[in-house]
């Protein structure tokens, strides 16, 4: 039962793996090297969730008016303006205040001015409160005021990003690891009008494989944005308006074969144990977590920034779930990890039904705000 809880907390997809404590030594100043072993078993004392979290509180997302019912949460962004939720099912962005009260929706379906066809992702500028929605169908970002008035488009051209983020100065960063001749790969930055400014991370044209499992790559950390560079470099980046550096490097004990690296349609299921995927990178001021899997096992890495120690989770015995249930980890702020408890998840556990007696299958999800120590 405990493993089911932690798997839901971290991914809600694959099964969790390895555990050990280790000191880490940077390869060069400013970069922390984190060893990750997918091929061998590691032994260590159990990691207690109470060592990570000092407090867990819950936010009920209001659905009383019938217009704010969430179909499926694809992403969450928390700013001074409140809680913004991307609803992948209804193709809209919903804004709530910090207590969970519904404020407004950003919903403009269509092909007219200020409208979008398909919401691939969204973000909110922490400084201005402007809401940006990436329309993959029309290759542009639609930008709206905090009050939901259409402002302008940011053109993307022929590029097809997997994810994007808005920096506090109004610039945009984009990321794709898919190979298509003639389009940009890696991470690049444009200004608020779409004019190219710099390439932050490049990818070799001979490296075509990607094992990405998680659709969201960018998360916010104060006025910076962080992301993993997938399996190409095994690097985790921190990006600001005028800065970019490798915060962590993952030292993985699997080297993806050249034949697979050069195959743009290689499926992980066909190479179980010989390839891996990096996903679920989350960071607060005091803790960092990232997951890897080779489809045979999954390693969930927790890095304690205070003690400079790594903790790896593999089995039920590797973790002690001694804090209130926090559901599926979805995003983070500088001082908290945000979990999502969906109605079906709550209804599956008697204890959660007792804890949230007003939740039904037609309710909105509950957010768990997990303050890190």
**DSSP states of 75-86:** EEEEETTEEEEE
Task: Give per-residue pLDDT as tens, 177-228.
Answer: 888 878 899 999 999 999 999 999 998 888 888 777 766 899 999 999 999 9
Are the C-beta atoms of residues 135 and 119 closer than 8 Å to each other? yes
pLDDT tens-digit series, residues 74-104:
999 999 999 999 999 999 999 999 999 999 9
Pairing of the two strands 277-283 and 287-293: antiparallel
Apex 251 CA angle, 245 and 257, nearest 5:
110
Dump pLDDT digits (tens) for 158-169. 998 999 999 999
Task: State the pLDDT at residue 266.
Answer: 77
Does residue 314 surpass a pLDDT of 60? yes
Q: Indicate the pLDDT class of residue 15, thresholds 50, 70 and 90.
A: very low
pLDDT at 9 over 70: no
Of 53-62, 162-171, 260-269, the poorest mean pLDDT is in 260-269
The DSSP secondary-structure symbol of 51 reads G
3-state secondary structure of 253: coil
Burial of 147 (C-beta count, 10 Å sphere; 0-12/13-18/19+)? exposed
Per-residue model confidence (pLDDT) at position 130: 98
The residue written with tokens 């329309």 in the block is 135
What is the rounded average pLDDT of the residues 112-135? 96
Give percent of the chain above pLDDT 90: 74
247 DSSP 8-state letter? E
Query: Which tokens belong to 336?
Result: 């908290």
Contact 208, 263 (CB under 8 A): yes
Are 361 and 325 in contact, with CB atoms under 8 Å apart?
no
**Which pLDDT belongs to residue 27?**
56
User: Of 70, 72, 117, which Cα lies nearest the Cα of 96?
Assistant: 70
Quote the mean pLDDT of the chain.
Answer: 89
211 closest CA partner among 227, 193, 189, 234: 234
SS (H, E, C) 199-233: EEECCCCCCCCCCCCCCCCCEEECCEEEEECHHHH
183: exposed, middle or buried (Cβ count in 10 Å: 0-12, 13-18, 19+): middle
pLDDT at position 4 = 43
User: Residue 55: what are its φ and ψ, rounded to 5°?
Assistant: -160, 140
Average pLDDT of span 232-257:
93
pTM recorded for the entire structure: 0.90
Q: Are 33 and 42 in contact (CB under 8 A)?
A: no
């Amino acid at each position: 039962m405990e493993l089911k809880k932690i798997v839901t907390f971290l991914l809600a997809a694959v099964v969790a793996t390895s555990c050990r404590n280790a000191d880490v030594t940077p390869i060069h100043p400013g970069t922390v090297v984190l060893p990750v072993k997918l091929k061998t078993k590691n032994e260590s004392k159990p990691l207690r969730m109470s060592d990570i979290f000092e407090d867990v509180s819950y936010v009920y997302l209001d659905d009383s008016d019938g217009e704010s019912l969430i179909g499926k949460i694809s992403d969450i962004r928390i700013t001074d303006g409140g809680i913004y939720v991307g609803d992948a099912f209804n193709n809209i962005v919903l804004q709530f205040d910090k207590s969970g009260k519904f404020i407004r929706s950003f919903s403009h379906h269509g092909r007219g001015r200020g409208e979008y066809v398909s919401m691939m992702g969204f973000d909110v500028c922490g400084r201005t409160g402007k809401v940006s929605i990436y329309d993959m169908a029309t290759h542009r970002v639609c930008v709206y005021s905090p009050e939901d008035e259409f402002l302008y488009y940011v053109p993307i051209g022929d590029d097809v990003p997997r994810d994007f983020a808005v920096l506090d100065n109004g610039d945009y960063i984009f990321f794709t690891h898919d190979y298509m001749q003639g389009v940009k790969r890696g991470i690049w930055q444009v200004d608020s009008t779409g004019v190219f400014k710099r390439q932050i991370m490049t990818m070799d044209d001979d490296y075509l494989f990607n094992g990405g499992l998680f659709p969201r790559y960018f998360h916010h950390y104060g006025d910076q944005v962080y992301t993993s560079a997938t399996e190409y470099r095994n690097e985790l980046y921190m990006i600001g308006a005028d800065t970019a550096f490798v915060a962590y490097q993952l030292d993985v004990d699997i080297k993806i074969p050249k034949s697979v690296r050069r195959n743009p349609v290689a499926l992980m299921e066909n190479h179980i144990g010989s390839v891996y995927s990096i996903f679920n990178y989350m960071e607060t001021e005091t803790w960092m977590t990232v997951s890897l899997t080779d489809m045979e096992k999954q390693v969930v890495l927790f890095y304690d920034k205070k003690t400079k120690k790594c903790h790896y989770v593999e089995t039920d015995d590797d973790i002690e779930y001694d804090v209130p249930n926090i559901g599926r980890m979805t995003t983070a702020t500088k001082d908290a990890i945000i979990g999502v408890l969906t109605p079906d998840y709550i209804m599956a556990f008697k204890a959660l039904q007792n804890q949230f007696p007003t939740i039904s299958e037609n309710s909105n999800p509950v957010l768990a705000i997990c303050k890190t120590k």
